[in-house]
Chain A
Amino acid sequence: MRSKVWTLVAVLSVAAVLLAACGPKATPTPTQPPAQPTQPPAQPQPTQPPAAEKVTIQVMVVDYIPDKTDKWLEEEVVPAFQKEHPNINVEFVYVNWGTLDETVQGYFAAGEGADILNLGSEYVAEYGDRLAPLGQYFKDWPDWAQFLPGTLDTVMWEGEPRGLPWLTAPRAYMCRMDILKEVGWDKVPQTFDEMVKLAGDATIVEGGALKRQGFTPLDDWQEYISLIWTLGGSIYKEDGSPNFDSPEAKAALQFMYDRRRAVLPNEQTAGLPETTGALLASDLVACQWGNLWGAPATNDPIWEKIELFPGFTDPDFPNSKPVVQVFNDWLAIPAYSKHIPEAVEFLKFLGSAENLNTYNSHFGSFPPRKDAWFGYVEQDAVMKKMGELMGQYGVGFADIRETAQFRDVLMAEMPLYFSDAQDLDTTLKNIQEKYTQILRDAGRLP
């Protein structure tokens, strides 16, 4: 038996050597446990002039409408761009939100991938240190001044821009005034307490199931952050530690609980049926928080009955002011890119007023630069109103540190409180402790 084992070991080791020898032909050195990544940290080379030879840049796009946005990009934008820059080819890679994180993680892990990345609003804190600083490229670009200051916050990391905003989607509150009238309300709620009351008044529960929901959504972690900001609070303290032991964090969560209880008398109530189409048009929902993408189309006549408003305040908090949470999706250039100057050229081209206007018209979102607010943005009454609210109350959804883990903590703790499984103080204490630990593990806190 022992000799057999030794034979096996010998054979295997010889085989391994042989494998390593003839490996590169088929699978390059796969027997080595790939423990030490060897790719050098790609440094941006700002002084390098645009190369004369033909280069290809890859652009990863998340928000696109198939057969519309992609056609526009490939058949109109790129040919126009190549008239000015015949030496730059542009290729597009389309992904969707569900797989974006895996894809981007993969790019950074490999140290290669698309040269321009379409990132979400809160991503700069996640990837900022791996994106190329672009200050010197945008320094002399006159268009830079046209971008709305709030949207530029989204792309700044350590004092340098890391990309260009290209889609702005504000989230505000909307109510169906006909339903409100029916339940005795002639105006939208002004205070937190009124909102709770209205949510209850407009709700109909029958046979243990919701027939009409006074307010939706009832457990959105992003709205929770928006509400903290509404009360004048912040989710971080001065020293960068989480701020969930603040009175604002407490009042906001308490409010969400009260509003939920007003809608769902208990947690055994069945929610709305799965539906197709915008909820606000379905008569199933009285009030909603969200962006225009999830709302009825802005040319839908139902909008005559819908009032758009920035939110409500709490008289107990003197600093409170409604907040319209603004999501700015943006295009970033990763530090690993070998074609940063070319990618910047394309960004500048794509970021023109006309292009941003066309792109955003596909989603009913706003172009992130002021001089691009023409056409549908001005002609459409709903867009116009939303634009005004954003101008007055907009706060960018940015700088959310370790977003994915933070989200998991909130999604674990908030529902426990909402379902009475744990009380308010425990919930806030848990969020505070867990988020502190996450920030510490990530090296963002000592």
Chain B
Amino acid sequence: MNPKLYTLLWAIATVAFIILSSLAVASVAKLVARWRGKNRLYQSRTFAGYFFASPWIVGYIIFVIGPTLASLYWSFTRFKLPAPPVWVGLQNYIQLLTTDDQFRVSILNSLYVTLFGLPLQLATALVLALLLYRRLPGEQVFRMIYYLPVMLAANSAMLITWRLVLNPNNGILNTLIRMIEGVFPFLVPVRQGVVWFTEITNAAFLGLQRGDFNLLHQTLARGLPGPEVMPLWHQSQLWSKPAIILIGVWSCGTMMMIYLAALSSVPPHLYEAALVDGANGWQRFWRITFPMISPATFYNLVVGIIATLQIFEQSYVLTDNGGPAQSTYFVAYYLWRSTFRFNKIGYGAAMSWILLVLILILTLIQFRLANKWVYYEYEEA
């Protein structure tokens, strides 16, 4: 049968199933309400509420609860299809947390992008938002341009384009850098410094990751790179993560929009008061703007961490299987490979639970720290 027709028929069946199950759930809810002696109005509200919410409730049971419980169970098993899972207790977790180098490397790679990439993304988004907030003519066009990458970034077509753009030899980015430096020669030492800094930090990070600081020693010994050394992007293990961060910064439009909304909610009388007090622009930003938009920063941070810890497409498309030297082997990618390439489903499940716990911990820490720096208006009231 034509696969599209097949799915179309299933889609119709699914709609029927959803309506029927919603009716069933709602009727049961109503019955319970009546049994508890509630009035007619209460009963009808119960019926309507459960009827409308049922698509999600039913989906939650089928696609979230069931799979989550299955995954939890498998994480304690050795599960290689088509054989049934075999209970191994904590072995998967122990192996992941103690002996599996690849897992340690992939977790640290993910944390690297979170630690260095996210602040850069936030800063860029904030700067762009502040520029746009001037409300100059044409602002709408700029807003569109800055948001456009968000929609394109995840598509493999875009990532393949980045591969071409970032080619260290004749890619357009490095060519552009050389061109700009041709006009402003004083930028060459700046670039040398940036290259040096990036390579040192990445070599240091690789050293931490592997417990072997050989590469750092050599990079240090080489000293400031010559003017001919360009960023190598996805070709080098010292540049591949910065390349992925660059793409993240490129698609910071969502964060920018959220900052923009937060900026317009800062009450103007605060600025007026500050002006009267003689605060300069810099002081106004740090004393008023930044604290007032801290909820937006907080939101961007929480959402950003969850997103960066799940980076997958970049490893798959841009850097060809997480290379070079597994410098872009991220935890979501390792999970994928374990499950779908190595057929180690129990192991992959354990990994996904560690990832979940990691996200939970990081989010909890955020919420804990939030009291210290996030400013909520209602506290004042």
Q: Which residues does A use to contact B, with CB under 8 Å?
A: 3, 7, 10-12, 14-16, 18-19, 22, 25-27, 30-37, 39, 41, 101-102, 105, 108-109, 111, 130, 207-210, 219, 266-268, 270-274, 402, 404-405, 408, 411-412, 415-416, 419-423, 426, 434, 437, 441
B84 contact set on A, CB distance < 8 A: 35-37
B169 interface hit (Cβ, 8 Å):
yes
What is the 8 Å Cβ interface bit string for chain B, positions 23-42, against chain A (1 contact, 0 not)? Answer: 01100110010001000000
B287 contact set on A, CB distance < 8 A: none
Closest to A420 in B: B218
A270 contact set on B, CB distance < 8 A: 168-169, 174, 230, 232, 235
B167 interface hit (Cβ, 8 Å):
yes
Stretch in B64-72, B146-154, B245-253, B271-279 touching the partner? B64-72
Stretch in B12-20, B114-122, B136-144, B355-363 touching the partner? B12-20
Q: How far is the CB of B195 from chain A (nearest CB, A)?
A: 8
A343 to B36, CA, bound (A): 64
Closest to A108 in B: B82
Inter-subunit contact B28/A419 (CB<8 Å): no
Inter-subunit contact B343/A105 (CB<8 Å): yes
What is the 8 Å Cβ interface bit string for chain B, positions 222-235, against chain A (1 contact, 0 not)? Answer: 10011011101001
Which of B20, B36, B232, B337 is in CB contact (< 8 Å) with A408?
B337
Shortest Cβ-Cβ A-B pairs, 3 listed: A26-B17, A208-B228, A270-B168
Chain B residues touching A, majority SS? helix
B344 contact set on A, CB distance < 8 A: 441
Inter-subunit contact B321/A105 (CB<8 Å): no
Closest to B236 in A: A267
Closest to A19 in B: B21
Inter-subunit contact A419/B343 (CB<8 Å): no
B375 interface hit (Cβ, 8 Å):
no
Q: Which of A111, A209, A268, A271 has the most CB of B within 10 A?
A: A268
Inter-subunit contact B66/A33 (CB<8 Å): yes
Inter-subunit contact A419/B341 (CB<8 Å): no
B326 contact set on A, CB distance < 8 A: 408, 411-412
A175 to B209, CA, bound (A): 40
Listed A/B pairs (7) with beta-carbon separation below 8 Å: A14-B28, A18-B25, A26-B17, A109-B82, A208-B226, A420-B215, A422-B212
Closest to B164 in A: A274
Inter-subunit contact B168/A15 (CB<8 Å): no
A19 to B54, CA, bound (A): 12
A12 contact set on B, CB distance < 8 A: 57, 61
A22 to B236, CA, bound (A): 56
Which of A105, A268, A441 is in CB contact (< 8 Å) with B232?
A268
Q: How far is the CB of B379 from chain A (nearest CB, A)?
A: 26
B228 contact set on A, CB distance < 8 A: 207-209
B237 contact set on A, CB distance < 8 A: 415-416, 419, 421
Closest to A423 in B: B214
B24 contact set on A, CB distance < 8 A: 15, 18, 22
A35 to B171, CA, bound (A): 49
Inter-subunit contact B168/A271 (CB<8 Å): yes
Q: What 5 new A-B contacts, CB under 8 Å, besides A273-B169, A408-B326, A415-B325?
A: A7-B36, A35-B73, A209-B169, A404-B342, A441-B344
Which of A37, A102, A421 is in CB contact (< 8 Å) with B206?
A421
A422 to B73, CA, bound (A): 39
A111 contact set on B, CB distance < 8 A: 82
B174 contact set on A, CB distance < 8 A: 270
Inter-subunit contact A26/B343 (CB<8 Å): no
B168 contact set on A, CB distance < 8 A: 209, 270-271
Inter-subunit contact B225/A18 (CB<8 Å): no
Q: How far is the CB of B225 from chain A (nearest CB, A)?
A: 6
Closest to B325 in A: A415
A203 to B170, CA, bound (A): 18
B50 interface hit (Cβ, 8 Å):
yes
Question: With A19-B21, A19-B61, A270-B235 known to touch, is A35 a contact of B32 (CB < 8 Å)?
Answer: no
Which of B28, B69, B101, B321 is in CB contact (< 8 Å) with A11?
B28
